[in-house]
Amino acid sequence: MVKFGALVQVDRILTGATEAELSAYVRSAEELNFTLQDLKAAIPGYCFRPSTLRSLAYLFLDVGIVVGLYAIAYSLNSWLFFPIFWLAQGTMFWALFVVGHDCGHGSFSRHKWLNNLVGHLTHTPILVPYHGWRISHRTHHANTGNIDTDESWYPIDESTYQAMPAAQKFVRFYGSLLAYPFYLFFRSSGRAGSHFLPSSPLFRPSERRDVLVSTLCWSAMIVFLAWLGITQGLLFLVTYYVMPYLVFVMWLDFVTFLHHSEPDIPWYRGEEWYFLKGALSTIDRDYGLINPIHHNIGTHVAHHIFSSMPHYHLKTATEAIKPILGNHYRSSSEPVWKSFARSFWACHYVADQGSKVYYQPHPRHQR
């Protein structure tokens, strides 16, 4: 039953709210025993305020490391060092993506123009169409945990899985660490749409100009890379760009897969879903030494509840809300490679029916 105190606050907190928002408030108080407002009140107010100077400091540090790695690799020009360079530089590409990710959420600064500028500066060099990705990622955050409308690493039902062509199954389930470029061009099973085309169903008419700008920036980067390959040679391009880029793609797919793929994380259909319950269908993971390098993006539960919060306040916010979340807070301290291996085999599809469902492994992987 809804607590009396929660009911007393409804009019004060949700004055002017839609019927759906009011319903979600009451349902969360009833089902979860806390509301979005309870969680926000527990977090220090400064956590919601981005610092432009602090955000720029992280950006400059990442760019400085990227430039430094290029200088060292070019100076040494050694095949003994190149594998180390590929791993390190690809990881820093991933760190730059996370900075652009903050820009997409408006948590890099309070200035929209600066968010868009830095978003393009960090995403274009790693071949991510900033606005196209930003908009579809917004859809993901607004629908997390909703089988019907989520946009990223959502489960498919068993009958759809059985009907999928072998090549599509391979890309989605066995080539998952290289799936991101395909996702940008074609999105994923049953939810078609390109992140590059302004006319794509992913975007509203009012967003098409932004999408076009990002696509033109992406195209300019492709032209630059082609010029680099022609003038410096294909081996130069592969050594200094393609290999770090592939490491970046694998990091992106690895981390985002682990954000939302775990056998005991529920997914919802229809009226069973509402924002806060869906936002809790993610998990915090510990990446060890990589945590500060990729800006604590593994601290993901608080991020999904309050996506406009800067990355450097996520750990503080998490500690503040954990006592309220109780058993609804999910985290894992096991090695991430072990978590990936388990979910890689176990998270294939969900039942065709049911309002609250969990991943089921393919029968041949069941013990």
DSSP-H helix ranges across the chain: 4-13, 19-31, 36-42, 52-76, 82-105, 112-123, 130-142, 158-163, 166-169, 180-186, 208-232, 234-237, 243-260, 275-279, 290-293, 301-305, 314-325, 336-346
Q: Which among 343, 4, 367 is positioned nearest to 177, based on CA atoms? A: 343
pLDDT at site 191: 58
What does the pLDDT read at residue 189?
A: 45
Structure tokens given for 307: 């996506």
Find, among 113, 148, 107, 31, the residue nearest to 306 by Cα: 107
Average pLDDT on 92-108 reads: 97
pTM: 0.91
Between the CA of residue 226 and those of 74, 121, 181, 222, 234, what are the distances in Å?
19, 19, 18, 6, 9
- Read off the pLDDT of each residue in 349-366 and give the average, rounded to a whole number: 80
- Of 112-126, 226-240, 262-276, 305-319, where does mean pLDDT reach its minimum? 262-276
The token duo for 342 is 């388990």
Residues 6+ apart with CB under 8 A from 278: 143, 144, 145, 146, 150, 268
Mean residue pLDDT of the chain comes to: 90
- 325 contact partners, CB below 8 Å, separation of at least 6: 34, 39, 280, 301
- For residue 341, the number of C-alpha atoms closer than 13 Å in the C-beta half-sphere is 5
Compute the distance between CA of residue 327 and CA of residue 324 in angstroms, rounded to an integer: 9
